[in-house]
Chains A and B, each alone.
Chain A
């Protein structure tokens, strides 16, 4: 399948975006680590109506912040970052979770792999090297295997980490990602991009266990999330068969 990959020049404008909801324990360290790791990149934090001291900390850190007036959820916070990057004409958007699990030092490595491979989306992948989900809780492990297998089956490409928070996104895909319905920009958006002919890759990264706050995956989400993502995967596959690339 032909790809729509574009080169990223050395003068590319790059935005690092951090969706944050009640991350007072980690946000300051994450912001400082990003500033140290990639000082030449712009930084945006999307504060998803945090009810703790996240907003006050961000103000003290003097970081550009997009503040949601009501909690919209992780997916919409990522979408706000994509819309902001699109509107501000950035060439590349890098998303990074605020929980401190990703090492901001990995940003440059993933970005370099993205640029060298002319990718449209590069995933900072926890599992592409080991192919082992053993470190994850049983339910999540099952979900990750399921969505990885679904992608391989329906999109023809194996993606080992379909729910990574560290992604490098080319401006070419800002528009489709900001106007289509996605849950959390995980497997459902990957299926759409791959089926639409965009080049998606994985670059290995290390992830630390979560030390503060709570995961977004509550027991009720363990049921709702896979149903919604599967629904959108099926929808995207059907649409990809019905419409030619570029019309969707």
Chain B
């Protein structure tokens, strides 16, 4: 891979990891999904960074499926789409969680037994 290709891969990886961290930080992506995506991206970058590993993986991949540059772009698109889909799933899950917690808190406040605590 030439210098331009290496720079592109590193830039894309850093952008993707930063995006993933930000999604997890804002509770927009479940941390378990974040672990999977970040691990996969790091594994991909390491594969590309080590020529011998890249060669071995390349040979194996060519045997399984002749990959073109276009196919790699399609795979990148699928990864981005997957992150987006999982982010939406997490968002939905977070809203259900908040709803369950809110109902529980209201239920507890309504059913609080015994004399009320003194005010602050």
Number of interface residues of B (CB under 8 A): 26
Cβ–Cβ contact A235 & B32, under 8 A: no
Chain A interface size range: 35 or more
Cβ–Cβ contact A68 & B104, under 8 A: yes
B46-58 interface code vs A (CB 8 A; 1 in, 0 out)? 0000000000000
Cβ–Cβ contact B38 & A80, under 8 A: no
Which of B2-10, B66-74, B111-119 lies at the interface?
A: B111-119
Cβ–Cβ contact A64 & B111, under 8 A: yes
Complex CA–CA separation, A121 to B31 (angstroms): 24
Q: Which residues of B contact A46 (CB under 8 A)?
A: 104
Complex CA–CA separation, A239 to B97 (angstroms): 25
Smallest CB-CB separation from B103: which chain A residue? A69
Cβ–Cβ contact B120 & A76, under 8 A: no
Cβ–Cβ contact A83 & B24, under 8 A: no
Cβ–Cβ contact B24 & A235, under 8 A: yes
Smallest CB-CB separation from A46: which chain B residue? B104
Q: Which of B1-49 contact A (CB under 8 A)?
A: 21, 24-25, 27, 31-32, 34-35, 38
Query: Of B24, B38, B101, B118, which one neighbours A181 at CB under 8 angstroms?
Result: B24
Q: Which residues of A contact B111 (CB under 8 A)?
A: 64-65
Cβ–Cβ contact A235 & B100, under 8 A: no
Cβ–Cβ contact B112 & A64, under 8 A: yes
Which of A26-34, A86-94, A132-140 lies at the interface?
A: A86-94
Which of A103-111, A143-151, A193-201, A224-232 lies at the interface?
A: A224-232
Cβ–Cβ contact A180 & B32, under 8 A: no
Distance in Å from the Cβ of B86 to the closest Cβ of chain A?
Answer: 14
Q: Which residues of A contact B25 (CB under 8 A)?
A: 180-181, 235, 239
Distance in Å from the Cβ of A150 to the closest Cβ of chain B?
Answer: 16
With contacts A63-B113, A235-B25 known, is A80 near B31, CB below 8 A?
no
Query: Of A44, A72, A224, A238, which one neighbours B108 at CB under 8 angstroms?
Result: A44
Distance in Å from the Cβ of A33 to the closest Cβ of chain B?
Answer: 17
B82-112 interface code vs A (CB 8 A; 1 in, 0 out)? 0000000000000011001101110111011
Cβ–Cβ contact B31 & A232, under 8 A: yes
Cβ–Cβ contact B100 & A70, under 8 A: yes
Complex CA–CA separation, A85 to B108 (angstroms): 11
